[in-house]
C-alpha cells in the first residue's frame, strides 16, 4: 500500500513538473484515468498516443483541435466559456461547433436526444451519460476512442477519462449518438 502511494505521489509530482516547466505554446493533454501525458507533436500525434490509436483513425481533426483548446478549463456550474464550463455546457458547445448539431442545455434533456447504443458500438462523437448522487443523467461527456471520453469534471475541469475506470463505470448509465 505504501509503495503504491509513493508511486502515485511520484507520478503526480512528475506530471506537475511537466506542466509547470512546459512552455505556453505546448499544451499538455492528459488522460486522467492513467496519468498518460504528452506535450509535443501534432494534434493527431498527441491524441493518437493518448487514445492508443493510429493517427489515421483520427479523422476529425476539428474535434481534437476543439478539445485541445478546452483541456484544463476549470469547472463552473452553468458556465459556457473558457473562464469555466460545466459538463453539459462543454458538450453543448462541442456538438454545435464540431458537428453543427443543436442540443438542449442540460445533460438530462440531452439524454432524450440520443439514439441509444450498446457500449461496444460507441463511435467518436457519441454521448455518454452518468448518474451521480442518485440523479438520473446528471453528467455527460463525449466519447472518443478506446473507452476514452472528454468531459468537464467538477474537480479537474475539462479532461479525458476512461469509461472503464471503476469510479466512472459504476455510474455509467446510457450512451448514444445524437439524433438528426
151 is catalytic: yes
Q: What pLDDT digit, counting tens, does each position of 89-129 carry?
A: 999 999 999 999 999 999 999 999 999 999 999 999 999 99
Tell me the mean pLDDT in the region 135-149: 97
Q: Above pLDDT 70, what percent of the chain?
A: 78
| pLDDT band at residue 8 using 50, 70 and 90 as cut-offs | very low
87 is catalytic: yes
Which residues on adjacent β-strands are paired with residue 130?
Answer: 139, 172
Question: For residues 172 and 26, which has the higher predicted lDDT (pLDDT)?
Answer: 172
* Predicted local distance difference test score (pLDDT) of residue 71: 97
> Which of the residues 23, 75, 145, 151 is marked catalytic?
151
Cα separation, 148 vs 131, whole angstroms: 18
Question: For residues 119 and 6, which has the higher predicted lDDT (pLDDT)?
Answer: 119
Strand ranges (E), 64-123:
80-81, 84-85, 114-116
* Predicted local distance difference test score (pLDDT) of residue 40: 75
> Which of the residues 23, 75, 139, 145 is marked catalytic?
139
* Predicted local distance difference test score (pLDDT) of residue 16: 39
Cα separation, 13 vs 134, whole angstroms: 34
Q: What pLDDT digit, counting tens, does each position of 13-57 carry?
A: 333 333 332 223 345 555 555 545 566 789 999 999 999 999 999
Cα separation, 160 vs 50, whole angstroms: 9
> Which of the residues 23, 75, 87, 145 is marked catalytic?
87
* Predicted local distance difference test score (pLDDT) of residue 1: 54
75 is catalytic: no
Pick from 118, 132, 31: nearest CA to 88: 132
Amino acid at each position: 500500500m505504501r509503495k503504491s502511494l509513493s508511486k502515485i505521489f511520484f507520478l503526480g509530482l512528475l506530471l506537475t513538473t511537466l506542466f509547470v516547466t512546459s512552455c505556453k505554446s505546448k499544451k499538455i493533454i492528459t488522460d486522467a484515468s492513467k496519468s498518460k501525458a504528452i506535450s509535443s507533436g501534432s494534434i493527431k500525434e498527441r491524441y493518437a498516443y493518448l487514445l492508443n490509436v493510429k493517427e489515421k483513425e483520427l479523422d476529425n481533426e476539428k474535434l481534437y483541435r476543439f478539445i485541445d483548446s478546452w483541456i484544463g478549463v476549470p469547472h463552473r456550474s452553468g458556465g459556457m466559456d473558457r473562464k469555466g464550463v460545466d459538463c453539459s455546457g462543454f458538450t453543448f458547445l462541442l456538438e454545435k461547433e464540431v458537428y453543427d448539431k443543436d442540443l438542449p442545455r442540460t445533460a438530462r434533456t440531452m439524454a432524450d436526444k440520443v439514439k441509444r447504443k450498446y457500449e461496444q458500438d460507441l463511435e467518436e462523437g457519441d454521448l455518454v451519460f452518468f448518474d451521480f448522487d442518485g440523479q438520473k443523467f446528471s453528467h455527460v461527456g463525449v466519447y472518443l476512442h478506446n473507452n476514452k471520453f472528454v468531459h468537464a469534471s467538477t474537480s479537474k475541469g475539462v479532461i479525458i477519462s476512461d469509461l472503464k475506470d471503476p469510479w466512472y463505470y459504476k455510474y455509467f448509465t446510457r450512451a448514444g449518438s445524437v439524433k438528426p
